[in-house]
A and B are shown apart, each in its own frame.
Chain A
Amino acid sequence: MNATRQYQIEVTNRQQQFAVPEGELLLHAMEKTCLQVIQVGCRGGGCGMCKIRVLQGSFRAKRMSKAHITEQDAEAGYVLACRVFPESDLVIESDHFNDLSI
């Protein structure tokens, strides 16, 4: 039996860590741990409340609102945590909701 792989997520601005099982959405996994280190909004890529910046690591993401993640945002590592599937351990920075677009 293979145990599901877990990725460690370090939230630098909150000095907290949590684990995300492979194939799970980052924000969903955080909510299940009862941590509150990323703001939770619509959970559907629409509202922008869970905007984070990924500083290290790899991930794939579902489609998200371009009103909150522009092409330049995406190139700079900004993403909505509710749409992110980690593919390695990640170092992230949360609390980027309503940042001026870079």
Chain B
Amino acid sequence: MKKGVMRPGHVQIRVLDLEEARKHYVDLLGLIEMDSDDQGRVYLKAWTEVDKYSVILRESDEPGMDFMGFKCLNEAVLDSLAEEIRALGISVTELPSGDLKDCGRRMQFVAPTGHTFELFATKEQTGKWGISSVNPEAWPRGLKGMQANRFDHCLLYGDDLEGNLTLFRDVLGFDLAEQVVDPEQNRVALFLTASMKAHDIAFIKHAEKNKFHHASFYLETWQDVLKAADLISMTDTSIDIGPTRHGLTHGQTIYFFDPSGNRNEVFAGGDYHYPDHETVTWKAEDLGKAIFYHDRQLNERFLTALT
């Protein structure tokens, strides 16, 4: 049941070298640099997004994800959802407006898998980059690299998937679009959506808490995924696997790493989900095909290279 969470709003990623990261996310992925702040953080957006930014880079000596934020319908939703999260026994911290540049107050909490999430409702809207909202052209000229359309989702690894399912489905109003279930009927992967997209956030079972698997960006077509693969080779960027197709969500995909070892995905296509759709189930015995539909086997790196 929808509870007022609209979409992934932003992700803050820790990088070892800000200049190398800026080059990767701007020149290769094609994000647009929008701003920076007095903490040295850099704010980026993908061109179809209406909000001012969706990716925040912060230099650190430990790569990974600081937090992922979801945008909600309005400020009242923040208060009601914060109350419901607290009723689960999870503490919620309200961060003041302006703590992130041009963003309203944020309700921040740690999920049972150890990942930090936040809800916000207000952020400066600069509109789609390079095109007007009246009689808009098809796309803006001057985009770089892969020309990523939008920040789409994150996949995170952690231990307490059932705790996260309760939080995201029952409290935050996400639907469980797809799952991976082992022979003892334990869920080992969750693909959750607050929209019609196949996933807005996904989790895979892992012994350690709070591990970051990837941040994913949407491209329009399979041809764009192939061109992304060409660009990865041209720039000698660290590749993980692809181009290929996922069984889960059926998206067409390629995985690669930023210069600090954080994994990125660009993908096209994929399934959609309405609230009356049955949860799609993949069997853990067929995890290879579920993750990589063509090879039908996992590379070890997919399960172990995390930040």
Contact = CB atoms under 8 A, between A and B. Distances in A.
A65 B261 CA distance: 9
A66 B16 CA distance: 10
Given A49-B305, A64-B16, A43 B62 contact: no
A65 B301 contact: no
B16 A65 contact: yes
Most buried by A among B62, B258, B261, B263: B261
A47 B255 CA distance: 15
Interface residues of A, number: 18
A66 B14 CA distance: 12
Interface string A4-31: 0000000000000000000000000000
A51 to B, nearest CB: 12
Nearest to B21: A44
Most buried by A among B262, B301, B307: B307
B305 A41 contact: yes
Interface in B74-97: none
Nearest to B263: A42
A46 B307 contact: yes
Contacts of B259: 44
B301 A40 contact: yes
B31 to A, nearest CB: 18
Interface string B139-167: 00000000000000000000000000000
Contacts of B103: none
A86 interface: no
A49 B259 CA distance: 15
Given A42-B307, A49-B305, A65 B62 contact: yes
A42 B257 contact: yes
Given A63-B61, A65-B61, A65-B62, A43 B261 contact: yes
Q: How big is chain B's contact interface, by range?
A: 20 to 34
A73 to B, nearest CB: 13
Contacts of A49: 301, 304-305
A44 B63 CA distance: 9
Nearest to B259: A44
Most buried by B among A39, A41, A46, A49: A46
Contacts of A47: 261, 304-307
B221 interface: no
B18 to A, nearest CB: 11
Interface string B270-307: 00000000000000000000000000000011001111
A99 B63 CA distance: 19
B17 A46 contact: no
Contact of B238 (A42, A65, A97): A42
A44 B61 contact: no
B261 A44 contact: yes
A44 B237 CA distance: 10
B191 to A, nearest CB: 23
B99 to A, nearest CB: 25
A71 to B, nearest CB: 11
Nearest to A46: B261
A85 to B, nearest CB: 15
Interface string A48-65: 010000000000001111
A46 B257 contact: yes
Q: Which 3 A-B pairs have the closest CB atoms?
A: A46-B261, A42-B261, A44-B261
12 contacts: A42-B257, A44-B257, A45-B63, A46-B16, A46-B64, A47-B261, A49-B304, A65-B61, A65-B261, A65-B307, A67-B62, A97-B304
